[in-house]
Structure 1
Amino acid sequence: MSTSATAATGRSTEEDPSPPGRVGPLGRLGAWTAGHVKHVLVGWLVIVAVLGAFAPQVTSVLSGAGWQSNGSESVKVRELAEKHFGGAGSSAIQVVVTSKSHQLGDPSVRRVIAEVTEEMKSDDRISEVVPPQPGTSISRDGRTGLVLGAAASGTDDMVRAAEHLKEPLRRLSTADVTVRATGSSAMWSDFNTANLKAMIHAEILSWPVTLVVLVVAFGSLIAAGLPLLLTMAGLAASVGSLVLISHVTPISIWAMDFALMFALALGIDYALFLVIRFRAALGHSRDPRRAVEETMDTAGKAVLLSGLTVLVSLSAVMLVPAPAVRTMAVGIMLSVLFVLAATLTLLPAVLAKLGPNVNKWALPRTRADRTQSPRFGAWGERLWRQPLRFGALALAVLIALAVPVLGLKTAMPSIKVVPANDSSRQGYTLVQESFGKGAPGMLQVAVPDTSVTATLTALKSTDGIASVLPAQRAADGSGWNLIQAMPSVDPSDLSLTRTVSTVRTELPADALVGGAAVENLDLKQALDDKAPLVIGVILVLGFLLLLVALQAPLVAAVGVLTNLLATAAAFGVARMIFQDGRLSGLLGFEPQGFLDGWGPVFFFAMIFAIAMDYTVFLLSSAKEHHERTGDPKQAVVGALAHSGRVVFAAAAVMVAVFFTFALADPLPPKEMGIVLGVAVLLDAFLIRLLLLPVLLRLTGRAAWWSPAWLRRALPSIRFSHD
């Protein structure tokens, strides 16, 4: 029993804190792990050893593509090109060969083209190498040509092929001839490589800050190491699982990065909550096993609920028909599952083994046995006395930051997100200079024989189409034709969306429009279409989980709505920075005029998951104090005194981790770090530690009221241990 409960009830601290008949399932699980420490440790060693053995393969087996909308018209065009046109679809590798002073027919240039051809033929993922063709892939001045490596494999393998070929091809350049691999597959290869390096670098930079905050938060070196134990166990198991799953279905390389991020963040959160509660339990129960039992019967429930809310939030992302987005969610969910499992089994066993030694090597003047924070308790008293003053200020700041979200624009990233010295971006520039601004975003139109003439006529008369190449008839007799049309604008120009929409409207009904640029547009449209459904599912499921846990509809609704407000404010800040370009000079990036298209869905799910984490910790503590005292004031003040320090410390670590990504050169990890960092900052400090307690103060007893029929329908869940 916590000191707050003792003060409220007048019961002695020597009283048995856990009568046998009142221990719940998690308390019994804690008691079992405490009594079978060796079995638990050996079990986890086996899990980590078996799954961790596959982890070193992660960078080689995980895929780099999957940025597409499954079932879209553009994907159908690519599949038709792979089946009937020898793989000459959007995933084919393009190699730009350009000479400063000679035309392609010059022997020195022909020799380089021959070397390029041989290099590409050596890769069995390329079905056919097509040399530069007059009128289609040779520039008007005759000095630049495109060598096409047709796809013999799926998009993931073609990205790997581009990764393998781009540097050998670059080395074929001479003083006069420049060789660069470009196209969709090369771009995704460069994009993923640059972002992977940036994210790993940012994570390395975040570790020293994380360790310092952990030591300060836990107050002892031994306790500070426990989150790292959970992180390493959860990460090794989740990354190994991703490798195994990749043999069944392609998994994006980004899944590993997000798995690492969430394993660290949640490992810290959960360890903080349980260790602080365990220390308090040790203060009135000298038996570590009984202390673990009490810890799991109270804080363990909050951790389990938090993990479930994170999983529910991220599971909604699976509604988006984009493999890359889905597998990123899978990576996070796996890390959450393993960290949660380790928190509920491995951590209690280690705590039981350590006992009072959990406070060993404590910092000077540290009260490791203190269950409540006097400072956060005093803050709770102040909020209770002056709720409108502080609540109005927090609400005004959040609304002011959220208003800009109404003008938020999204689009798929431009070539600018690829580093300037990478092969695909340099090749992209060469293609534009030699063939036209829209050449890197050629439209591919698949059309049956009967509609070729009508399609060519419609394309040539469409505004926004600069040129149309002759139809290429499939050699396999399938009756399909492939027509390429060059837009008049850069592929990242927002007007291309209107051009593609017009083309699809004007062409015959049996004509299909695709190409790499159109695949991006279709993916963005799918993300936009699914965003309301994903957000709605997350909000509804989040409310239901809080309702089941807290047994009170009003407080559950308040928890969800405040999460939504913090998320809106974070996106409002994202709009001002990344769309409007404010602070772009300080942060070192060139604004695109929009937020990357996956942001609303994926970032919303991540932000909401983290926000629910803090919501559960604070409200479960408030419910525990309300169950013991029946006093709304004790619920608010006690929750802040009991959990405020946990929320503050966990948020400090997360903000430090996320903001290190702002130092990354590529734009996507910079976006992610700033958006998530701002979200955590706003949610933890303006919502959980200010606005939410104020709302509990203003609603009073009504916050915890529940109709009788609802109480009968819901399972009985208590957070107090008495």
Structure 2
Amino acid sequence: MPRLTSLPIAAARWSARHPKRTIAAWFAFVALATALAFVIPVKETTDADYRIGESGRAHAMLADAGIDAPPMEHLLITAGQGRLDAAAATAAADEIAQRMSAVAGVQQVAPPVWSGDRTSALVSVVVDKAADPAALLSVTHAVAEAHRDLHIAQSGDLTVDAGIQGRVADDLHAAEFLSIPATLLLMLLAFGAVIAAGVPVLLAIGSVAATLGLSAPLSYLIHAEPTVGSLIVLVGMAVGVDYSLFYLKREREERAKGVTTPDAVAIAARTSGHAILVSGAAVMAAMSGLYVVGAATFSSLATGAIVVVAVAVLGSITVLPALLVQLGRWVDRPRLPLLWRLNARIGQGGISRRLIAPVLRHPVVSLVMALALAIPMAVSAAGISLHSANLSTLPPDIPAVATAHRIAEKFPSEGTNALVVVRAKAGQQQVVEARLRELSTRAAATPSFADLGIDPIKVSSDRSVTSVELAIPFSEQDSRTAEAIHLARTTLAPEALDGLGVDYAVGGWAAASLDFADRQSERLPWVIGFVLLLTLVMMVAAFRSVALALISAGLNLLSVGVAFGVLRWIFQDGHFSEQLDFTSPGFLIDWIPIFVMAILVGLSMDYHVFVLSRVREYAASGLPAREAVRQGISDTAGVVTSAAAVMVAVFSIFATLSMLEMKMMGVGLGVAILLDATVIRLVILPATLVLLGERTWRRARHGVDSAVAAQPGACAHPSAPAYATDREAICAAYASTAAGSATP
């Protein structure tokens, strides 16, 4: 057997020699890593992690001065029926103040504030960050029960966060509950045997569990975003099953040719194992591009994805070979008779050969037709509008969210706003305050702002920082809100503070969203360039072909464009909103497209590397280019289809969840993977390779023995490649090499 020098072969060799040790070590690793989640509390992102640009400077000045807004809870009092009774509402507000003051963590309860039309009263409660939302809600429910003629509801920083976290936890539980049986069912269809179907699923579950545990200590280096757990499940189940599927399919294919189990594992290690390493590295490289953005959300998601892919790769090249050697032919037991016979009747690449035949006969027509479908979808992505998640993107059936919508309608000061924050010497405070009051008056006189209704000025205890709040009478996603912030930054604030020599910045949540979008737009070209360049270099290193690397980059760009176009058409334009159960906010949540781009480039490389590796094997064995493409894609299309089906199934589950960003991510990735595995990998890729012809595989044909000599059974069984002109010499060389090598 040839000397085993590459990492996957070396790992398979050791694991195959020590299967029980390897399996025990893997389970110990998963158990210890999972235990970390119970021992180490996760360090979640804080407001400071999200500070970007001018809004970040404004919020930092407020926090440093101690006048950063503390958490607030608001209780909205309206009439149960008819007009609001002012006396009854006042009595309820007094009871709220009395009961809330006794709750731990409550700092202050403000007197009730009446809406302009006197149909609503609002009681604001200042609380500590450590206050228990459940304790606050219990008071609200008790007062509401005592005043049944009124409608009393609560919303605020703590209750909205609690509602979101609860919903995310429910969504994550639903995804876990549905994704595992769905994946197992697809594996049963792919293999027709219970053990073969269960092994990839168990390894994927182990990878996810281990990563969730490892995320706890890692969160102290890079704080964990609330949605990172959902991402780890999504990516971990997809790639974990895919990698095992690639490996297991190849091992079974070689055994079917008459190769012994140890030799079959060795062949799978050299071929599929190598493809797994390259694919995993491509996914991690693509995800590392998210660090270029320099935002907490992307850094956290990138870390979670990179770790779960690394763990999945580790399991695929270590414990999977050990399991296959230990199980032997028992991996195909117990068989499901109907599915087993169906798979046997279809055979290796039976369906794909029929599908790819017209593409190979008419590559130009096939390529033009496929591009005519994909390019318009990609071009439509140019009209994407981005905005951060806000009330309009949260599930309206969360009670605190529904109440927040009603509060924003009745009380503009609790809706969209901008903050002008000034840092100056204490002796300048009175002048600064006077200028800011003048600024507030001028702003309210423009169509872009409204009267706040309360004193807009806040001053720090040392009189060094002064802020003014400006109410914006539009929703956060309204284009007029961005215009209002731009007006404050370029005209109102500079004119009001001219000549004072002070440090100032315009912030607020709407401004923060605008700054985040600007940061993303500014760095998106760098992210795309980084990801494509890194994957380009990796493809050149893996296949020694610049042409293949350029084809890979082009297909990745096309896949990303199609994904963006689909996201815009569905979520921004609102198509299929009823079927997917969402209300279009008129934009895409700002972090979704760039994240989908990074993860899609990585995941699509799984198929790309796997397919090209097999085509290269046949090309290296001396097969003509067209025949190598036909045979290579036919052999791998079934595996790619099964792998894509797993990914699409997992992503589709996320499309059914209630959080809109999870829907966007699931639909975008699911549709893109489906098109990538069909239109791009079964039509555009083979058509392009056929048109390029022999030029693509010149280096593969140099040293033609690389594929044949890699296969222990290649010179022995009837299905050995017979296209190499010097096949006999290769087999003789292989035989002499095998005599001096150990079999794993």
Task: Quickly name the TM-score band, shorter chain normalised.
Answer: 0.7 to 0.9
Q: Distance in 1 between matches of 2:406 and 2:206?
A: 47
Q: Distance in 1 between matches of 2:693 and 2:180?
A: 42
Q: Distance in 2 between matches of 1:108 and 1:363?
A: 67
Name the structure 2 match of 1:457: 438
Q: Does 1:547 align with 2:540?
A: yes
Name the structure 1 match of 2:90: 106
Shift of the 490–347 alpha-carbon distance from structure 1 to 2, 3 Å rule, reads same
Greater displacement, 285-294 / 231-240: 285-294
- Contact residue 196 and residue 331 of structure 2 kept, 8 A: yes
Q: Distance in 2 between matches of 1:699 and 1:259?
A: 39
User: Which of 265, 273, 284 is the matching residue for 1:292?
Assistant: 265
**3-state SS of paired residue (2:506):** strand
Q: Distance in 2 between matches of 1:67 and 1:678?
A: 35
Q: Distance in 1 between matches of 2:151 and 2:708?
A: 68
Shift of the 499–218 alpha-carbon distance from structure 1 to 2, 3 Å rule, reads same
Task: Measure how far apart 1:379 and its partner are.
Answer: 3.5
Q: Distance in 2 between matches of 1:720 and 1:391?
A: 35
**3-state SS of paired residue (1:446):** strand
Shift of the 323–633 alpha-carbon distance from structure 1 to 2, 3 Å rule, reads same
Amino acid at match of 1:467: D
- Alignment map for 1:665-684 (pairs within 5 Å): 665-684=658-677
Task: Measure how far apart 1:649 and its partner are.
Answer: 0.7
Name the structure 1 match of 2:56: 75
Task: Measure how far apart 1:519 and its partner are.
Answer: 2.2
Mark the runs of 5 or more structure 1 residues left unpaired by the alignment.
1-18, 152-157
- Contact residue 165 and residue 226 of structure 2 kept, 8 A: yes
Task: Measure how far apart 1:139 and its partner are.
Answer: 6.4
Shift of the 57–323 alpha-carbon distance from structure 1 to 2, 3 Å rule, reads farther
**3-state SS of paired residue (1:342):** helix
Task: Measure how far apart 1:255 and its partner are.
Answer: 1.0
Shift of the 21–585 alpha-carbon distance from structure 1 to 2, 3 Å rule, reads closer
User: Which of 479, 488, 495 is the matching residue for 2:473?
Assistant: 488
Task: Measure how far apart 1:655 and its partner are.
Answer: 1.4
Q: Does 1:501 align with 2:486?
A: yes
Q: Does 1:264 align with 2:240?
A: no
Q: Distance in 2 between matches of 1:719 and 1:426?
A: 66
**Cα deviation digits, residues 575-625 of structure 1 (max 9, x gap):** 111111222233232211111111221111122122111111111111222
- Contact residue 219 and residue 368 of structure 1 kept, 8 A: no
Q: Distance in 2 between matches of 1:445 and 1:94?
A: 23
Name the structure 2 match of 1:27: 9
User: Which of 43, 48, 53 is the matching residue for 2:35?
Assistant: 53
**3-state SS of paired residue (2:476):** coil
- Alignment map for 1:275-286 (pairs within 5 Å): 275-283=248-256
Q: Distance in 2 between matches of 1:547 and 1:510?
A: 51
Q: Distance in 1 between matches of 2:49 and 2:480?
A: 20
**Cα deviation digits, residues 128-174 of structure 1 (max 9, x gap):** 3352487xx986749523424255xxxxxx4x757555633542441
Task: Measure how far apart 1:179 and its partner are.
Answer: 4.8
Mark the runs of 5 or more structure 2 residues left unpaired by the alignment.
80-84, 424-428, 712-744
- Contact residue 170 and residue 180 of structure 1 kept, 8 A: yes
Q: Distance in 1 between matches of 2:625 and 2:434?
A: 76
Name the structure 2 match of 1:118: 102
Q: Does 1:418 align with 2:397?
A: no
Q: Distance in 2 between matches of 1:116 and 1:439?
A: 20
Q: Distance in 2 between matches of 1:33 and 1:164?
A: 51
Q: Does 1:167 align with 2:137?
A: yes
Amino acid at match of 2:680: I
User: Which of 85, 94, 113 is the matching residue for 2:73?
Assistant: 94
User: Which of 408, 417, 420 is the matching residue for 2:384?
Assistant: 408
Greater displacement, 670-679 / 64-73: 64-73
Identity of aligned residues (%): 26
Q: Does 1:659 align with 2:652?
A: yes
**3-state SS of paired residue (2:451):** strand
| RMSD across aligned positions (CA) | 3.1
Name the structure 1 match of 2:728: none
Number of residue pairs matched? 681
**3-state SS of paired residue (1:465):** coil
TM-score, normalization by structure 2: 0.85
Larger-gyration structure (1/2): 2
Name the structure 2 match of 1:14: none
Shift of the 292–368 alpha-carbon distance from structure 1 to 2, 3 Å rule, reads farther
Amino acid at match of 2:419: Q
- Alignment map for 1:307-386 (pairs within 5 Å): 307-364=280-337, 365=341, 372-386=348-362
- Alignment map for 1:533-544 (pairs within 5 Å): 533-544=526-537
- Contact residue 551 and residue 706 of structure 1 kept, 8 A: yes
Amino acid at match of 1:70: R
Name the structure 2 match of 1:129: 108
Task: Measure how far apart 1:681 and its partner are.
Answer: 1.0
Name the structure 2 match of 1:514: 507
Task: Measure how far apart 1:62 and its partner are.
Answer: 5.8
Shift of the 717–258 alpha-carbon distance from structure 1 to 2, 3 Å rule, reads farther
**3-state SS of paired residue (1:413):** coil
Q: Does 1:579 align with 2:572?
A: yes
Q: Does 1:440 align with 2:415?
A: yes
Q: Distance in 1 between matches of 2:709 and 2:650?
A: 33
Task: Measure how far apart 1:85 and its partner are.
Answer: 3.7
Greater displacement, 618-627 / 517-526: 517-526
Name the structure 2 match of 1:15: none
Shift of the 170–547 alpha-carbon distance from structure 1 to 2, 3 Å rule, reads farther
- Contact residue 69 and residue 322 of structure 1 kept, 8 A: yes
Q: Distance in 1 between matches of 2:153 and 2:468?
A: 25
Task: Measure how far apart 1:292 and its partner are.
Answer: 1.7
Task: Measure how far apart 1:718 and its partner are.
Answer: 7.3
